[in-house]
Structure 1
Amino acid sequence: MLLVTVLLSTGVMAQWQWLDKDGRKVFSDRAPPPSVPDKSILKRPGGARVVAPVANEDGAVSTTPGTPASSAAAAQTASSAPKISGIDKDLAEKKKKAEQEEAAKHKAEEDRVAKLKADNCVRAKQAKAGFDSGVRLSRVNKQGEREILDDATRAAEALRIQTIIDADCK
């Protein structure tokens, strides 16, 4: 019976204990997520307490003074901590590809707008040439009747065409 009790309690020794962002203690058989800072980890598997390594002025790493941890325990806790590479190559590649696609879409939209402006510019210049020629112009009204443009309407239309030329012909 004693042997069974001892063997069952070894699983309890492989427990992690840390404080979450709200200050509550969390117990788990898995390592805490990378978002949990080392100072919040209270216990690691193997019964070793967390000892934060501190760099001295000369660059040597030592444990915090006044703690009973040995260098072997510190090495064990460092090796059992999850490894974080810092950069996920697949994620960086996907992000770069998405940025390139977004840039291509933006460029295509700019090209489409530039083409429309160039077309508007050509049409406005043709219309302006017609208005400047002095020939009598007419248009069809809502009833389908043809009406000749008077001088005031002609001047207003010439001004409208000139604003289009100013906006689109740069």
Structure 2
Amino acid sequence: MKLIQTLLVVALSGLSFAASAQWQWLDKDGRKVYSDRAPPSDIQDKNIIKRPGNYKAPVVAPAADAAVEGDAAAASAPVAGQAAALPASGAKPAGGLDKELEAKKKQAKEAEAAKRKADEERIAKAQIENCARAKQAKTTFESGVRIGRTNAAGEKEFMDDAARAAELKRIQGIIDRDCK
């Protein structure tokens, strides 16, 4: 019984450490604000008094447009993974997330286009190979040489004129389809 009480005390004390992970900052009027969430993006870093112990500052990815236009708000906007740093009012951040989302969409479209192009190249290569094989087979069939095949029983048999004509027709269909 004493062991269970000791474990319970240890577990509850561990929870108190998690509860102490609080943010403190000064708002625009100079008042101290306490929260378990990160301050809004309009709070300057110098006004943040206390951060949770394991908090790592967000990595700011400067947007290309912000550097050109000199838009400091867009350049210091939080990264997409930092949703906790967004204002609670649901207002849109100053361009950083939208630009990153657009960049990800563009990257996905480029990856899709590259995949489609690779598939088209693979299909074109297969058509070229099929065309070459069909032309070679047509030459062989038109040469008049006796062509032998192995049947289902494993016996060798030679093609008659009707089978040769049917095979030539099939090969010509392949040539018409793949040799463009």
| TM-score, with structure 1 as normaliser | 0.50
| TM-score, with structure 2 as normaliser | 0.47
Identify the structure with the greater strand proportion. 1
